[in-house]
Structure 1
Amino acid sequence: MRLLLVEDNGPLRLLVAGALRGAGFTVDAVNTVSDGEEAMAVTRYDGVVLDLGLPDRDGMELLETTRRRGLSTPILLLTARDDAPSVVAGLNGGADDYLRKPFDMDELIARIRALLRRPTASVSPVLQEGNVELDAAARRVRIAGHALDLSRRETAALELLMRRPGTVISKPVLEDTLYGFGEEVSSNAVEVLIHRLRRKLASIGADIEIHTLRGIGYLLAGRRT
């Protein structure tokens, strides 16, 4: 799952982005409303963490622009504004939740996961294909009831494929999902990751597998017999 973090406080932005990545999310972090608008114009996000006090404009403008575009992306407001009218304005303006600064990082992560579990969110909480179950919120994978240890990016790749079973996912789409802005990606990074993920699935008896369509992309389907 890919998140957009819009926060102008540099140390806090690094801290929050690092914690979210540690919790299994891919994170793009920017520090202005303008950068947030540009990011959302070219990338589909599963959720947004939005500060209100930004240097170029009020974060409410990004919230309002997102809703005017008809996007239902879950948005959590981070705000130092502790007066009730500001909170009410944010929620009435289309925010899904808010958290006052200073905040507990575990609570922030829990609130984001709760938003992504909601039926109206862009993701479903639990995916099932064959004997493979992926809990998208908890970032846990089980095969026939047995836990499978996957890295953050392996889990993200499997989630994308399980959300579109039988559909070819191109290499560029996988790269966009797995890597944030500014991250260096080697030319064979996706191939190496898929090879590793395919081997792990087979090692524990998954009855689905990832098929490679050379020059086109990857497809999740039942294991060939």
Structure 2
Amino acid sequence: MGGSGRPEGESLPLLIAVSADPEQRMRLAELLDGVGPLLMVSGLDELRRLLDEGKPSPPAVIEPEPEPDGLKVDADRLVASWSDREVPLTMLERDLLTHLLTEPLQVWTYEALHQAVWGTGHLRSTADVHSLVKRLRRKLADLGNAVTIDAVRGIGFRLTDHQNPVRRTG
């Protein structure tokens, strides 16, 4: 038994005091000090609010956004898809295509692409980027879509949808 006359491990009941008068709440707190856990509130509305805060919220219903038509990359399965067709991707191809899809029409430098795919901006030659783009172009063509990777001479590459060209303004 503990010093309170209760067996050890037995929990004490929660005492709830409701009073709008702050002085009365202070006197109650002094009188009930050490008796057990005490919750003091100024009114029933405050008590209801406190009790509601402890309840778990109903689960949020999240409606999935409809997938936009077009080229999609499933990073986990390592595939690119267009309509009902899929092509397998290597991890390098996935990383390159995913990076190009982040900003379609943006011209990506060889260095930026090398950083995104191989994790280093240090580039001895552009041959590795060219080789990867060549393989990825073939796979995009196998999907039968109009999206391709266009070369921007001396700079790098960009992803372009030749069927639905988007023109930048400004």
Could you tell me the TM-score, scaled by structure 1's length? 0.38
Q: Which has the higher helix share?
A: 1
Largest Rg, 1 or 2:
2
TM-score by length of 2: 0.50
